[in-house]
Amino acid sequence: MRPRLALTLLATCAWLVGCDRPASDLREWKPSDHKHTSEAKQGSEDDSPQVSGSAQPPLPGLDEVTIATWQRACSSCHGQLGRGDGPQGPMVHARDLSDPAWQAATPDAQISESITRGRGKMPAFQLPSSTLEGLLHLVRLFDRDRIARAAASARAASAPASSNAVAAPAGSAAAAPSARAASAAPNAHVAPAASGAR
């Protein structure tokens, strides 16, 4: 019984001595330890923006509040690109918002009403009108037909620049690189839109 008592007494002494010393890597907290406080911004050398560091919105016509709202409230079901493939999308049968037929058949007022009042398993969201308008704009940007038209327009805009060149005979070596470039260019624009189609 004595060895057990001695061991317990030794462990208790070691604990008391070890816990009595302050940790060598701890120091007193200062407001400058956190960049989100106003005191830190006043004395800080790094005054870079906290959110994105960019003066331009991530997409034309969308602000960061709209993007954050989509990611927080919508993407778990509708997915990042509105295709209904979010983590909970299959479970709740989330609508594919990029479907061209649905985009053409659904008026803006119905989309806004679905957001503010909810629909099926989708809850209602009480949002400021500017955020609601931003989400409506974002949903319209998901339209796969619009994406395909934009890609075709980009290809057409770049085509006149290459058509001004002097045409080489079809079998010549000078014609071959431009033919390969022309056949590769449409694939570069079409692949992102086509890869999302299911």
Residue 104 within a domain: yes
> CA 35, CA 42: separation in Å to the nearest integer?
10
Residue 49 within a domain: no
Residue 39 within a domain: no
Alpha helices in the chain (DSSP H): 2-20, 38-43, 64-69, 75-78, 89-92, 100-105, 108-117, 129-141, 144-163, 175-196
> For residue range 8-57, what is the model confidence (pLDDT) as tens digits?
877 776 666 665 556 566 667 666 666 554 443 444 444 444 444 444 44
Entry pTM: 0.52
> For residue range 134-166, what is the model confidence (pLDDT) as tens digits?
999 999 999 999 888 888 988 888 876 554 544
Residue 178 within a domain: no
Residue 51 within a domain: no
Which residue range forms the structural domain that includes residue 102?
64-144
> CA 92, CA 151: separation in Å to the nearest integer?
32
> CA 136, CA 112: separation in Å to the nearest integer?
7
Residue 35 within a domain: no
Q: How many domains does the chain have?
A: 1
CATH code of residue 139: 1.10.760.10
How distant, in Å, are the alpha carbons of 111, 122, 127, 133, 170 from that of 116? 9, 10, 7, 11, 60
> For residue range 85-142, what is the model confidence (pLDDT) as tens digits?
999 999 999 999 999 999 999 999 999 999 999 999 999 999 999 999 999 999 999 9
Residue 105's contacts (CB-CB under 8 Å, 6 or more residues apart) are: none
Residue 151 within a domain: no
> For residue range 25-36, what is the model confidence (pLDDT) as tens digits?
666 766 666 655
Residue 80 within a domain: yes
